[in-house]
Amino acid sequence: MKQEKVAPAEGKLGIMVVGCGAVSTTFMTGVLMTRKGLAKPIGSMTQYDKIRVGRGSEKKYLHYKDIVPLANLNDIVFGTWDVYPQNAYQAAVYAEVLKAKDIEPVRDELEAIKPLKAAFDKNYAKRIDGDNVKDCKTRWDMVVELKKDIQDFKKANKCDRVVVIWAASTEIYVPYDEQVHKTLSQLENAMKADDREHIAPSMCYAYAALTESCPFIMGAPNTTVDIPAMWELAEKTKMPISGKDFKTGQTLVKSGFAPIIKTRSLGLSGWFSTNILGNRDGLVLDEPANFHTKEVSKLSTLETICKAEDQPDLYGNIYHKVRINYYPPRNDDKEGWDNIDIFGWMGYPMQIKINFLCRDSILAAPLLLDLTLLSDLAARAGRYGIQRFLSFFLKSPMHDFTKGEEAVNNLFQQYTMLKNAIREMGGYEADEEID
Amino acid sequence: MKQEKVAPAEGKLGIMVVGCGAVSTTFMTGVLMTRKGLAKPIGSMTQYDKIRVGRGSEKKYLHYKDIVPLANLNDIVFGTWDVYPQNAYQAAVYAEVLKAKDIEPVRDELEAIKPLKAAFDKNYAKRIDGDNVKDCKTRWDMVVELKKDIQDFKKANKCDRVVVIWAASTEIYVPYDEQVHKTLSQLENAMKADDREHIAPSMCYAYAALTESCPFIMGAPNTTVDIPAMWELAEKTKMPISGKDFKTGQTLVKSGFAPIIKTRSLGLSGWFSTNILGNRDGLVLDEPANFHTKEVSKLSTLETICKAEDQPDLYGNIYHKVRINYYPPRNDDKEGWDNIDIFGWMGYPMQIKINFLCRDSILAAPLLLDLTLLSDLAARAGRYGIQRFLSFFLKSPMHDFTKGEEAVNNLFQQYTMLKNAIREMGGYEADEEID
Amino acid sequence: MKQEKVAPAEGKLGIMVVGCGAVSTTFMTGVLMTRKGLAKPIGSMTQYDKIRVGRGSEKKYLHYKDIVPLANLNDIVFGTWDVYPQNAYQAAVYAEVLKAKDIEPVRDELEAIKPLKAAFDKNYAKRIDGDNVKDCKTRWDMVVELKKDIQDFKKANKCDRVVVIWAASTEIYVPYDEQVHKTLSQLENAMKADDREHIAPSMCYAYAALTESCPFIMGAPNTTVDIPAMWELAEKTKMPISGKDFKTGQTLVKSGFAPIIKTRSLGLSGWFSTNILGNRDGLVLDEPANFHTKEVSKLSTLETICKAEDQPDLYGNIYHKVRINYYPPRNDDKEGWDNIDIFGWMGYPMQIKINFLCRDSILAAPLLLDLTLLSDLAARAGRYGIQRFLSFFLKSPMHDFTKGEEAVNNLFQQYTMLKNAIREMGGYEADEEID
Amino acid sequence: MKQEKVAPAEGKLGIMVVGCGAVSTTFMTGVLMTRKGLAKPIGSMTQYDKIRVGRGSEKKYLHYKDIVPLANLNDIVFGTWDVYPQNAYQAAVYAEVLKAKDIEPVRDELEAIKPLKAAFDKNYAKRIDGDNVKDCKTRWDMVVELKKDIQDFKKANKCDRVVVIWAASTEIYVPYDEQVHKTLSQLENAMKADDREHIAPSMCYAYAALTESCPFIMGAPNTTVDIPAMWELAEKTKMPISGKDFKTGQTLVKSGFAPIIKTRSLGLSGWFSTNILGNRDGLVLDEPANFHTKEVSKLSTLETICKAEDQPDLYGNIYHKVRINYYPPRNDDKEGWDNIDIFGWMGYPMQIKINFLCRDSILAAPLLLDLTLLSDLAARAGRYGIQRFLSFFLKSPMHDFTKGEEAVNNLFQQYTMLKNAIREMGGYEADEEID
């Protein structure tokens, strides 16, 4: 066991959020309110979780910040890009996620957070219709302007470090293309050639962030950093990347519930998941091309937990279906309904139904806090490239599929990976194995 | 790491089940059908689960039987006691759990399993009304007769080893009494003095089993072996004991779902669990004195997973309520409905509802198989007294509360304990820590 | 068809509400806000429903107020009694049913509504603990003081008419006693003799109201006016009475859903209803003696809709169970879960589950408005005694059981009765039959 | 009130069912078993329901058969067409709806029911793949052969009367075309011209039936008889027609539950209905073109019950969405999940969720019995054309939209229409109005 050398978390940490909608403003408001002692950052691992370090008689349970040097909430500065020009206060009020009493005390600070013009292409999100948009001729122009945004923000706010996190809409599905997405030079060429079919705007954000020495996190199901070209860039810039898709409602439950079935050697014949949601996320997903991106992201969860090849009697014939439905009456109050068909002793069938009345932004907000703080930590620890230990927070965790790596979707295995990384960065021994 | 010496599983293993009702006959029928290749013992860890042994490049995934010497299904012989005289075939048909096509192929074998007269006291289960009952003057007489039953059964069936497992009804609640339950001699004196208030019939079964060198397992929520006097007896006889209450439907889900909430640092304000069930178990629990035993057993699960003292912001104020309702239209098809009130970022509330349409006997049957095989294994490994590694299978796991031990109720921690015990008995290194 | 003579609704209508809690203040606030055009009285039949009058080519659909003379919302004056001294504004804020924005605009008017001292006996509601209580030696003293309250209120507020409605807690169950509750003189004697076992405080309110020429409505499941002595009093005073128990959440659904099953000739084998609620109503019902009153009220619904004697194949063997659970995390947000076991063609079973996330006070408030306005109407129409046409609004509708009358619980038959009464009072022909 | 003249139900009644799948065989088996006294035809109005006839002191409650002359179950003879050649016994076993014990006693009779070759066009049901198919050059050839089938069946079975009912799959959506579907001569010309785009095979069945003096019933959502050309034919042949889509699971509940909301003047902001089903019906509906037919049929239910124009405050903004999902693990055990967003007093929102675990064929079978018996009755009563009184049994009831007629979807209004028709045909006075 070697002690990792982690640079201290000194100075200001800029968090630049792509998208200034319900999720982003709930995140920002909560951090600002917490700083004033007016709210509690429930759901945040970096603020609440305690993990065991040491073994046997040496063991103790510590908060993350007592194991590794984490940025303090007081050192955070927020920036954002959005296609709508409303400031974070206006956006928070519009989102109708938080009550007035939970926003008003930090109104001034929120009003000061004004969205930079977004790098946007309407073909990637047809239902979105804002005009606070950069006027760029090519994808490469987008990159150039975004890099300048980051530099300006950093300077203006005297930030020592910046993290960029995507909390904007789901783009249409961009399948992996070996001619464009494999190497960094291919990617750069395509950007310069303005290949709009293969280069999503989100890729320009990621490229700009990494080349400006900012960790990048993909919170939507976009495949932005799920390509070898980006991994190459992360290696080159020595920056951490992670994604994709914040693990909130239904998939969170699925990644925790499937292990219950698996752990008891019960059989599984079907899992039907349906979802109703009414916020802008739902509106975008109502467009089939955007839904497809989401569906690909959500479907993988189950099969990697209950594996047919390991237990053919139990998991050899699972019918898994995921439906997402735009349903405006609910706004941000997402609701999932799962029907799970299991079977037990002698093959007798049983059913489980889970109805989750959740709130999208309330579940997502602490993930933004944890992902940015831990990405910043990883950067300071010299850990770059794909951050598998952040799988815990993500619906469809990154993994190097070119090397045959598999995603880890089991919530409890992901938690072990998270704990092990914290332990190691803190100079403690990890539990090497996750099962 | 020291290699434990485990005696091989040679010869016949007698499994004597107290109670020949729905659970017992489903268990027996399934084992017999599996032996003939006509059914699959889904849900049984000893028959399906594979666990990692070794680490790093040495690691491999093995079935339990390939790590430790387990009794083979073909070597099992069944015996039973019941207040009703019907043989196992008749009882299986009456129970209406299994379809005819899943019973008929082993009809002959089931018919040969005829209940011995039960040691019974109607005060402990008012709703039960059978007459296949021993005529005993005192509790001590019960012990004497039960010991003879075991000896006779062992001889008649040429068994090398016998395990006794309670799969009969819930008795009325017997609180721990320091004057009767603390030491073995107290207990024996009370049996001889026929102290019917403090000595439940189930205690006579446990006493008889242990003194006949049979491991004893308590599958109902009875406190039978949850007393220091029994632990002393287990030490003295060098026999394993375990209990209590088979972890089937709702508590199984709770012990797996609460960890999801805990793992994500989400808050919990309330958990309401209600249950409808219509079999004999439900009928017995419709009597308040018997329900009380069950309630005490079910309530502990949550509080040991989401601990107020560790996370007062999150778990400092949980309202937990469990209701069980006798509802005849369902017979053995138990149904649970849970409402879980959680809260996230800035304290905003969300709700989860879980509706489990399960089958009591189908979920319980594999537990009987695993608990008996693993208790037999433990005995051969020289592990005696409370078997904490069997907590995985039990709703209210035994622990030595006189030493301040706490029950482990988290399903995934229980699973780690189970795997570690198998690893150790197999000569592999355990992961020492469970979190 | 004869035209009924209905006196016009001139002058002020006093509505005196017993209890100034969540239900009462939601009712009052809503009426005051509606008067200012700031809210809509959704759920109120008198404000929204339109019914057909006339037949064939003559038929038209009219609001109630266009058929019969109803009191105008602007003419209402509120009074109240409560064991807590807080005014209606304070009580509305405490109840946490309505948002600030829905209360503040009428704050002044609410603050002016100050509870009179209650006629209270702690033995009838152990969990209630207020001290704004009249100091009465006997039940008869209660009557005398309550009568004076009504007279004073009427005078002070220049009311032409007053209606008294009970919206306070459930009292403990008072079974019908032939020696006390049969005749008016028995009742009066018992009040004077201070027979506290048989005379609930609510009976004093009813007696005072009727003798002051005020219609009386029982909104809790108390048997207050479900006794021949009170019917005699209503006859004598020519006043309308109605009750009991506002039909809100679960029973509302049951009284509408059971007719679906019945109408399609489907079979019913079981109906399990459970409820969680956290407001003061729930707290009171957590006391077994008070729950019993509620249970008796709720159980009758089903059996009078799906009658065993009419359809023994379909309804000959129904298992009906109702559970109510105090569950503080929800406050006023009551939740019901129903499981319904039905069977169809050749007896094959099916299941329906209904989960109702409702709000007690939101569902109850319009009932208070309708019941008071329609009771006032009935009084002006010279209709006195039991008002069966108000069954629509009540969980356990009054009926003269001494004459073998049966309660009508089918929501749609109740609706027909309601419409017929309005038609008749408006001089239109009723549809005589309700099925 | 005039007495209708209804011909007696003498002789054999042939019931020719299009499709010999789960629904049809469950229907046939149930009738045959009922005839032997071995099953009960639960859910059948003609066999169970009793309705009031007469008024006031004259009123009595009678079974339909005691009011009007209905065909006796013993006089029924079954025929069928199907693309699969399996006889009704084989098809019933394959369907896995009924247990062996409920089929075997009538095995011989079922085996004798052998499907005639179907008039089939794969373009109308891509997922269906049978070869027991007529070899027809044109749609007109189909008509000619089907007419011959009916004549042969009638003769061979000595039937006095025949009714034809469609219980086969949903065809792809055929929108109303003014050039083809408006007049009978257009329709006949299109059949002769073999216009396969506008003439669904089901139209050939309907045409053949009506011209052979057989009432025709459309049990799927096909628009077959929802066109003026067919109404003209029904007038000309003086035959009753009815449709469309058997009202089973989710829509049955919706047509009964929406009236609960409406009756209480509660508001409705959204209704989300999702469905999982795994039988052949589900497989066919998994094809978008076929689903569209179903969706159009299911969406109309709500809007005609909760009308925006009547109550804009309550129903002015309803979001209604229906999803159907093919989900093989369930086979015939269809399951619906409805989420209903309502609002009450002052606009406060509440939610209702309904989970219906139903059985498609069990719910449909009694509808086939009632629809055929009542269509036969209507024919004998000289009632021809669209039979609105059968709306009760149908998801999307027929109505003459060219005259501005509206469908009646409210279950209880439909029931009143049904009762009124029976009363009138029985010579009793109807309650003219349905609300």
- Give the DSSP letter string of C145-186: HHHHHHHHHHHHTTEEEEEEEE-SPPPPP----TTTSSSHHH
Q: How far is B275 from chain C (nearest CA, A)?
A: 10
How many angstroms separate the Cα of A430 from the Cα of each of A62, A221, A399, B433?
A: 14, 30, 20, 11
Nearest to residue A169, comparing CAs of A230, A84, A254? A84
Contact yes or no for C328 and B319 at CB 8 A: yes
How many angstroms separate the Cα of D428 from the Cα of each of B249, C413, D68, D415?
A: 56, 21, 10, 16
- Give the DSSP letter string of D41-76: -TT-HHHH-EEEES-GGG-EEEEGGGTS-PPPGGGE
CA B115/CA B19 separation, integer angstroms? 8
Q: What is the mean pLDDT of residues D383-401?
A: 92
Confidence of residue D1 (pLDDT cuts 50, 70, 90): very low
Tokens representing A304 are 């990697």
Q: How far is C163 from chain D (nearest CA, A)?
A: 21
For residue B340, what are the β-bridge partners? B271, B352
Contact yes or no for A354 and B352 at CB 8 A: yes
Contact yes or no for A260 and B98 at CB 8 A: no
Record the pTM: 0.93
Neighbours of chain B (3+ CB pairs under 8 A): A, C
- Given B269, B272, B325, which is nearest C321 (Cβ)? B325
Tokens representing B432 are 């020492």
Tell me the residue type at A152: D
Q: What is the mean pLDDT of residues C116-130?
A: 88
List, for residues D233-289, the tens digit of each pLDDT value.
999 999 999 999 999 988 899 999 999 999 999 999 999 999 998 877 777 777 777
Q: Round to the nearest angstrom and report the end-to-end CA distance of chain B.
A: 20
Query: Which residues in chain B have Cβ-Cβ distances shorter than 8 Å to C321?
Result: 325, 327
Angle among Cα C190, C191, C195 to the nearest 5 degrees reads 60
Longest dimension (CA), chain D: 68
Residue pair A154/A79 in contact by the 8 Å Cβ criterion = no
Q: With 80 as the cut, is the pLDDT of residue C231 above it?
A: yes
**C412 has a chain B CB within 8 A of its CB:** no
The pLDDT value given to residue B290: 75
Q: With 50 as the cut, is the pLDDT of residue C55 above it?
A: yes
In CATH, what number does B13-246+361-426 get?
A: 3.40.50.720
**A260 has a chain B CB within 8 A of its CB:** yes
Q: With 90 as the cut, is the pLDDT of residue C110 above it?
A: yes
Q: What is the mean pLDDT of residues C387-401?
A: 92
Nearest to residue D298, comparing CAs of D328, D321, D331? D321
In sequence order, what are the residues at sequence separation of 6 or more whose Cβ sits closer than 8 angstroms to the Cβ of residue C385? Answer: C231, C234, C235, C240, C241
- Given B270, B276, B339, which is nearest C272 (Cβ)? B276
Q: With 90 as the cut, is the pLDDT of residue C143 above it?
A: yes
Q: With 50 as the cut, is the pLDDT of residue A1 above it?
A: no
Q: Round to the nearest angstrom and report the end-to-end CA distance of chain A.
A: 20
- Give the DSSP letter string of A361-422: HHHHHHHHHHHHHHHHHHHHTT--EE-GGGGGGBSS----GGGT------HHHHHHHHHHHH
- Given D29, D310, D343, which is nearest C42 (Cβ)? D343
Q: How far is A64 from chain B (nearest CA, A)?
A: 13
Q: What is the DSSP letter of D103?
A: T
**D288 has a chain A CB within 8 A of its CB:** no
Q: How far is A315 from chain D (nearest CA, A)?
A: 13
CA C414/CA C430 separation, integer angstroms? 14
- Burial label, C197 (beta-carbon count in 10 A; 0-12, 13-18, 19+): exposed
Contact yes or no for B344 and A48 at CB 8 A: no
Q: How many contiguous H segments (helices) and E segments (strands) does chain A have?
A: 14, 13
If you measure CA to CA, which chain C residue comes closest to D48?
C265
pLDDT in tens, chain B (435 residues): 455 689 999 999 999 999 999 999 999 999 999 999 999 999 999 999 999 998 888 889 999 999 999 999 999 999 999 999 999 999 999 998 999 999 999 999 999 999 999 999 988 888 788 899 999 999 999 999 999 999 999 999 999 999 999 999 888 888 889 999 999 999 999 999 999 999 999 999 999 999 999 999 999 989 999 999 999 999 999 999 999 999 998 889 999 999 999 999 999 999 999 999 887 777 777 777 777 777 776 777 898 899 999 999 999 999 999 988 889 888 878 899 999 999 999 999 999 999 999 999 999 999 999 999 999 999 999 999 999 999 999 999 998 877 888 889 999 999 999 999 999 999 998 876 777
Looking from the CA of D131 toward its CB, the CA atoms found within 13 Å total 0
**B103 has a chain A CB within 8 A of its CB:** no
Tokens representing B370 are 């695993």
Query: Which residues in chain B have Cβ-Cβ distances shorter than 8 Å to C275?
Result: none
The pLDDT value given to residue B1: 43
CA R_g for chain C? 21
Tell me the residue type at C98: L
The pLDDT value given to residue B236: 96
Query: Which residues in chain B have Cβ-Cβ distances shorter than 8 Å to C353?
Result: 355
Nearest to residue B128, comparing CAs of B285, B284, B305? B284
Contact yes or no for D358 and C343 at CB 8 A: no
What φ, ψ does residue D117 adopt, rounded to 5°?
-65, 140
Contact yes or no for B345 and A432 at CB 8 A: no
For residue A343, what are the β-bridge partners? A267, A349
Residue pair A17/B283 in contact by the 8 Å Cβ criterion = no
**C132 has a chain B CB within 8 A of its CB:** no
Contact yes or no for A335 and D339 at CB 8 A: yes
Q: With 90 as the cut, is the pLDDT of residue A337 above it?
A: yes
Contact yes or no for D272 and A327 at CB 8 A: yes
Size of interface C-D (CB pairs under 8 A): 205
The pLDDT value given to residue B297: 67
Query: Which residues in chain C have Cβ-Cβ distances shorter than 8 Å to D431?
Result: 431, 433
- Given A29, A61, A346, which is nearest B33 (Cβ)? A346
Q: State the span(s) of chain C assigned CATH 3.40.50.720.
A: 13-246+361-426
If you measure CA to CA, which chain C residue comes closest to B277?
C272
Cβ within 8 Å of D, A 340-379: 341, 353, 355, 357
Q: What is the DSSP letter of B42?
A: T
The pLDDT value given to residue D331: 80
In sequence order, what are the residues at sequence separation of 6 or more whose Cβ sits closer than 8 angstroms to the Cβ of residue B243? Answer: B166, B217, B218, B219, B222, B224, B225, B226, B394, B396, B397, B398
**Would the CA dihedral through C417, C421, C423, C428 be positive or negative?**
positive
**A289 has a chain B CB within 8 A of its CB:** no
- Given C323, C327, C341, which is nearest B270 (Cβ)? C327
Per-chain mean pLDDT for chain D: 92
How many angstroms separate the Cα of B381 from the Cα of each of A151, B10, B374, B375, B384?
A: 67, 13, 10, 10, 9
Angle among Cα B19, B23, B27 to the nearest 5 degrees reads 105
Neighbours of chain D (3+ CB pairs under 8 A): A, C
Residue pair B338/A354 in contact by the 8 Å Cβ criterion = no
Q: What is the DSSP letter of D388?
A: G
Nearest to residue C401, comparing CAs of C235, C223, C255, C239? C223
The pLDDT value given to residue B332: 79
Q: How far is B165 from chain C (nearest CA, A)?
A: 34
Tell me the residue type at B367: L
List, for residues A177-188, the tens digit of each pLDDT value.
999 999 999 999
- Burial label, A60 (beta-carbon count in 10 A; 0-12, 13-18, 19+): exposed
List, for residues C328-383, the tens digit of each pLDDT value.
888 878 899 999 999 999 999 999 999 999 999 999 999 999 999 999 999 999 99
Name the least confident of A254-258, B66-70, C398-402, D375-379. C398-402
Q: How far is B357 from chain A (nearest CA, A)?
A: 5
Asked if CATH classification 3.40.50.2300 holds for the domain at B250-357, the reply, yes or no, is no
The pLDDT value given to residue D297: 67
Query: Which residues in chain C have Cβ-Cβ distances shorter than 8 Å to D348?
Result: 98, 359, 362
In sequence order, what are the residues at sequence separation of 6 or more whose Cβ sits closer than 8 angstroms to the Cβ of residue D38? Answer: D102, D105, D106
Longest dimension (CA), chain B: 68
Contact yes or no for A269 and D335 at CB 8 A: no
Confidence of residue C3 (pLDDT cuts 50, 70, 90): low
CA D402/CA D396 separation, integer angstroms? 16
Longest dimension (CA), chain A: 68
Contact yes or no for B321 and C321 at CB 8 A: no
The pLDDT value given to residue C1: 43
Where helices occur in B184-243 by DSSP H, the ranges are 184-192, 201-211, 228-237
- Given A102, A310, A355, which is nearest B353 (Cβ)? A355
CA A198/CA C262 separation, integer angstroms? 60
The pLDDT value given to residue A49: 95
In sequence order, what are the residues at sequence separation of 6 or more whose Cβ sits closer than 8 angstroms to the Cβ of residue D299? Answer: D320, D322
If you measure CA to CA, which chain C residue comes closest to B335?
C339
List, for residues D188-233, the tens digit of each pLDDT value.
999 999 999 999 999 999 999 999 999 999 999 899 999 999 999 9
ipTM over 0.95: no
Neighbours of chain C (3+ CB pairs under 8 A): B, D
The pLDDT value given to residue B3: 54
Query: Which residues in chain C have Cβ-Cβ distances shorter than 8 Å to D350?
Result: 356-359, 362-363
H helix or E strand, kind and range, residue B335: strand B335-343
Q: With 80 as the cut, is the pLDDT of residue A296 above it?
A: no
Residue pair A80/A19 in contact by the 8 Å Cβ criterion = yes
Q: State the span(s) of chain C assigned CATH 3.30.360.10.
A: 250-357
Name the least confident of A234-248, C404-418, D76-90. C404-418
The pLDDT value given to residue B219: 96
Owner of token pair 């034919």: D233
CA C223/CA C203 separation, integer angstroms? 9
Query: Which residues in chain D have Cβ-Cβ distances shorter than 8 Å to A323?
Result: 274, 323, 325
Q: What is the mean pLDDT of residues D84-90?
A: 96
**B38 has a chain A CB within 8 A of its CB:** no
The pLDDT value given to residue A3: 54
User: Which of A291, A315, A330 to mutate against chain D (most D CBs within 10 Å)?
Assistant: A330
β C349-357/D349-357 pair status: antiparallel
Q: Which of the pair, D224 or C298, is modelled with greater confidence?
A: D224
If you measure CA to CA, which chain A residue comes closest to B26?
A345
Q: With 90 as the cut, is the pLDDT of residue C297 above it?
A: no
CA B235/CA C193 separation, integer angstroms? 70
If you measure CA to CA, which chain B residue comes closest to C326?
B321
